[in-house]
Amino acid sequence: MLDNYVSLTDWIAVITPSVILFPLYFLLANHFNIYDSPIGRSSHTKRTITGSGIVFTVSLFITSIFVEMHVHYFFWIGLVLLVTVSFVDDLIFLKNSYRFIVQLIAMALIVSVIPISESNGSFSEKLPIWVGATIFGTFIINGFNFMDGINGLLGSCMMVVLLSLAYLNATLTDAEGHLIRFADPILIYSLIASLAVFLFFNFRYHAKTFMGDAGSVGIAFITTYLIYMLVSKTGNISYLLLISVLGIDSGLTVIYKLILKENIFIPHRDFLFKKLVHIGKYVHVKVALIYASIQAIINAIIIFLPFNKGVYAQISLVFIIISAQIALFICVRNRFTKTRIIDIRTKTKEEDNQST
């Protein structure tokens, strides 16, 4: 299915699996007690069904049975490996090293089929690009994995990203006016359908379910594949900014934790979105809307402004947007960090007065 036409039968095959599988998963989760119970650093206060993001992958497979989907088999192998290990981690804890190795293998599989292999140059010239893309993609996967902590946050941001990718896939043209198709539209539409059903249960004051590692890692893997294909087909590196909001928050927070020599895999509240909830007392869905809105504005700039002409224009755009996001992140983060310090000092002073 590589043309613009998607029949009614195709749409039924795209939408139906998710509508059926999510309620079915809830029954299984209740039966097998697949819940995420709140702990000290959690952002939720009630036991919540987790791991439902595995439905994204299962729905893709079911859709591919009824509708021809042009995706390399390396993509499927990498996705199955990644989601299986992540779902097991949702059920029982796995060492970070095991998951990281599988993530590298999965990313290496999809990077190996990116059309960069069709460009001129020897194997030794291409190898650094492959290695860099594999490592960078693995960091993206882990960054997304950190984001499944606020109701609707990852889902709403990813809906913005996928809708942007769907629009580009349907409208992007080259200099001769030929349509640039970087992915099978059914792949994108199927993921959008699954995400829409998930958000119905997650984008609430009290979420009914979390996507878990199986969902956050799986959707990160697929999105990374789509963006890599888009950048490869167009040569426009500014399309990496389509996921920049989550990337800036997770990336800078990881750097901050590393500077403090703290374990980045231990649950914490140093992400800006968690500070907004726990210190700023923002409602979860409000934070999710703020993040998704900022990403939507950035994506609109990337898609509709003519900055995609020439590598210098692309680099300039990337530099300007990333610098603005980093400045905003640091400004807001420092504000809430200072608020926390004042609260701690006030609380300590009150305790001292009470003791005397």
pLDDT band of 356, cuts 50, 70, 90: very low
CA distances, 139 to each of 5, 58, 167, 224, 228 (Å):
35, 24, 26, 10, 14
Beta-carbon contacts of 184 under 8 Å, excluding residues fewer than 6 positions away, are 1, 2, 69, 70, 71
Percentage of residues in the chain with pLDDT exceeding 70? 85
Per-residue pLDDT of 2-27, as tens digits, reads 445 678 888 999 999 999 999 999 99
Q: What is the DSSP string of 97-127?
A: HHHHHHHHHHHHHHHTTSGGGGSSS-HHHHH
Beta-carbon contacts of 16 under 8 Å, excluding residues fewer than 6 positions away, are none
Structure tokens at 24: 């079915």
Mean pLDDT confidence for 212-237: 93
Residue 105 has a CB neighbour count (10 Å cut-off) of: 16
Residue 253 has a CB neighbour count (10 Å cut-off) of: 22
What backbone phi and psi angles, to 5 degrees, belong to 190?
-65, -40
Beta-carbon contacts of 51 under 8 Å, excluding residues fewer than 6 positions away, are 25, 29, 34, 87, 90, 91, 210, 211, 212, 213, 214, 215
- Distance of alpha carbon 67 from alpha carbon 58, whole angstroms: 14
Q: What is the pLDDT of residue 92?
A: 84
Q: What is the pLDDT of residue 122?
A: 65
Q: What is the pLDDT of residue 228?
A: 95
What backbone phi and psi angles, to 5 degrees, belong to 271?
-65, 145
User: Are 233 and 138 a contacting pair, CB within 8 Å?
Assistant: no
Structure tokens at 129: 């690009």
